[in-house]
Structure 1
């Protein structure tokens, strides 16, 4: 039995996976959406750093004694998910990164792309990155209803998790994985994601939608996750 552990990106919690999780369960999988410390229903907990979010994932796998684990990370959460993947050993079956950042040892989520505006926003908002407005989700393949749901559920993201360095004892390219590229957010994977495919352990899947496919195309995303279980 495959165990999917689903971790959404910045501002989001386990709730973001509701439609995807329901379809995966219908397909016979066990599914464990996870809210990271400081987000959604976990707002108000002690302010986390990058390694807090890594430990959230590792601890959940251990707490539930999961085996044959597919770790799924979207956007920001690719950074803690990737670190957790190399820590959980033979419990891991595969990593799936959904339009996600890839962890690099010693670098943060904000490394490698123009992030001055994000850093300034964190500084102005008491150490939190404020969620996007409805207008900022334009062009991402979302209906008005989907955008409204995203905006209503989003919560400020703890800034220290974005600026703390990743700890990678070995590259993520050494574990089997699938990278899902959302084409409305750019045609090709960028940054450290490019290096994943050089090892032969990763494959690339594209979706004709924007950066939040769990909202814009949840059924298609669920099918991709289901197929990842049998990927070479």
Structure 2
């Protein structure tokens, strides 16, 4: 049995991993979906930094005393799980990224999105009392869930929470993940148009080829059967 620990992306909580997590449990494994500090309704987001997100992932795995961990991150969560990986190395059996950003040392997610977007993110966070950034419905419906039914887009949008700006503005400082000695997988949604760089390029930073799954950036909600199946095959199937 493996312990799958799921970490969500920008504006999302652990709820977004529930459909995949249930299927992982049905396959005989344990599943834990984390919600990073500041992303539960009513949380104080003031002053939260990327280091807080990384520490939370590490602390939760250690607090639960989990071993044989498959650490999984979606979208932005590629950054905090990259930061947590070196500190959890002895507990990990696999690192899995789903349509996730793979940071290079000294790079923030905001900077990877380009100077104009990075400037907007910084200005928005500085203008927000809690230092957060938010996602508008147009962006979700045209970039993250394009061509999905409007009622589903609206349902997902209503679950979103403002995201601590420091999480995406802070640069990641760490070693090349390929030196960790932990197997890694990059799963990529076939219709994802929301990534900071082409999925094949991001996967190459791990030294792997992307494993394709159906759907858009939010395929963890719209195609959980396919994503869970691909994740299990890549991480716990003998020989992988």
Whether TM exceeds 0.5 here: the answer is: yes
With over 3 angstroms needed to count, the CA separation of the structure-2 counterparts of 1:3 and 1:35, relative to structure 1, is same
Counterpart contact for 1:118–1:129, Cα < 8 Å: yes
Matched, 1:72 2:77: no
Match of 1:13 in 2: 13
Task: Choose the corresponding residue for 2:186, options 170, 179, 183.
Answer: 179
Cα distance in 1, alignment partners of residues 230 and 37 from structure 2: 27
Cα distance in 1, alignment partners of residues 191 and 122 from structure 2: 25
Match of 1:40 in 2: 40
Counterpart contact for 2:36–2:56, Cα < 8 Å: yes
Match of 2:205 in 1: 195
Counterpart contact for 1:6–1:17, Cα < 8 Å: yes
Counterpart contact for 1:131–1:156, Cα < 8 Å: yes
Cα distance in 1, alignment partners of residues 42 and 32 from structure 2: 16
Counterpart contact for 1:6–1:32, Cα < 8 Å: yes
Cα distance in 2, alignment partners of residues 29 and 182 from structure 1: 23
SS in 1 for 2:83: helix
Q: TM-score, normalised by structure 1?
A: 0.89
SS in 2 for 1:18: helix
Q: Which blocks of at least 5 consecutive residues in structure 2 are unaligned?
A: none
| 1:49-99 Cα distance to aligned partner (Å, 9 max, x none) | 001000010001100111110010000010001111121022001111111
Match of 1:54 in 2: 54
Q: Which blocks of at least 5 consecutive residues in structure 1 are unaligned?
A: none
Cα distance in 2, alignment partners of residues 183 and 124 from structure 1: 36
SS in 1 for 2:167: helix
Cα distance in 1, alignment partners of residues 229 and 183 from structure 2: 18
Cα distance in 2, alignment partners of residues 148 and 85 from structure 1: 34
Number of residue pairs aligned between Structure 1 and Structure 2: 227
Task: Choose the corresponding residue for 2:124, options 102, 121, 126.
Answer: 121
Distance apart, 1:100 and its partner CA: 0.6
Deviates more, 1:126-135 or 1:187-196: 187-196
Cα distance in 2, alignment partners of residues 188 and 208 from structure 1: 16
Counterpart contact for 2:121–2:165, Cα < 8 Å: no
* CA RMSD, 1 decimal: 2.1
Distance apart, 1:204 and its partner CA: 1.9
Match of 1:85 in 2: 85
Match of 1:219 in 2: 225
